[in-house]
Amino acid sequence: MNTRILIIALALTALGCRERVVLPACAPDAPVAMAEVNGVRYHVHLQDALRCSRETGRPVLLTFHGWASASTSAAWDVLSDPDVKALIEDRLVLCVLLVDDRDTLASEDLVGFPQLKSNPTNIGQRNSALEAEFFNKVSQPLFTLVNADFVSLAEPLGYIPKKNANELADWIEEALTKIP
């Protein structure tokens, strides 16, 4: 990322700027970290998912859950449903945000989020803060749709049993019809 842009974003954050500052996450040719579970590919880093959304015009389906927990299993059971998986592949950018990720938070991981009230020091704390402060929910799994500017496009949706995976597909379809 351009050093001047990063310094400006950090200064705005330090000054408590309440305006959303959406800046490029990295150079267009930078590698994008992707992972796959049950045949469903997803972005590992939020900034990469937002950049992909900006480039493709697709909204981002965020899932908040823990690492190797019941919420993780529940989320992947629903995300790997054939109808949900098809929606993700054809119309969305998927990003998984782990609320218990203990990796150290780099300054660029806060770019675009200067208004966080908490002072997170690791990725999981940042993800928990985003979940609580932006979506007023603390629930795992939690599904929500945002645009490239991290503006919510639908009311977040909590736990869905595997047998009701169609509820997530219906929720996504309904939200997509409301996007201009």
Rounded to 5 degrees, φ, ψ at 77 are: -60, -40
Tokens of 116: 């966080």
Query: Which residue do the tokens 């496009």 mark?
Result: 153
Rounded to 5 degrees, φ, ψ at 157 are: -120, 130
Helix (H, G, I), strand (E, B) or coil at 38: coil
Largest CA distance in the chain: 50
pLDDT of 109 above 80: no
Residue extents of the structural domains in the chain? 3-17+33-177
Q: In which band, very low, low, confident or very high, does the pLDDT at 79 lie, cut at 50, 70 and 90?
A: very high
pLDDT of 26 above 90: no
pLDDT value of position 113: 65
pLDDT of 106 above 60: yes
Which comes out higher in pLDDT, residue 92 or 113? 92
Q: Who contacts 179 (Cβ-Cβ below 8 Å, separation ≥6)? A: 59, 147, 153
Question: What secondary structure letter does DSSP report for 42?
Answer: E
Q: How far apart are CA 66 and CA 35, in angstroms?
A: 16
Q: At what angle do helices 70-79 and 165-177 cross, to 10 degrees?
A: 60
**Cα–Cα–Cα angle for 150, 117, 69, nearest 5°?**
70
Q: Could you tell me the pTM of the whole model? A: 0.79
| CATH code reported for the domain at 3-17+33-177 | 3.40.30.10
pLDDT tens sequence across 114-163: 577 888 889 999 999 999 988 998 888 999 999 999 899 999 999 999 99
Q: How many CB atoms lie within 10 A of CB 170?
A: 13
Q: How far apart are CA 147 and CA 89, in angstroms?
A: 16
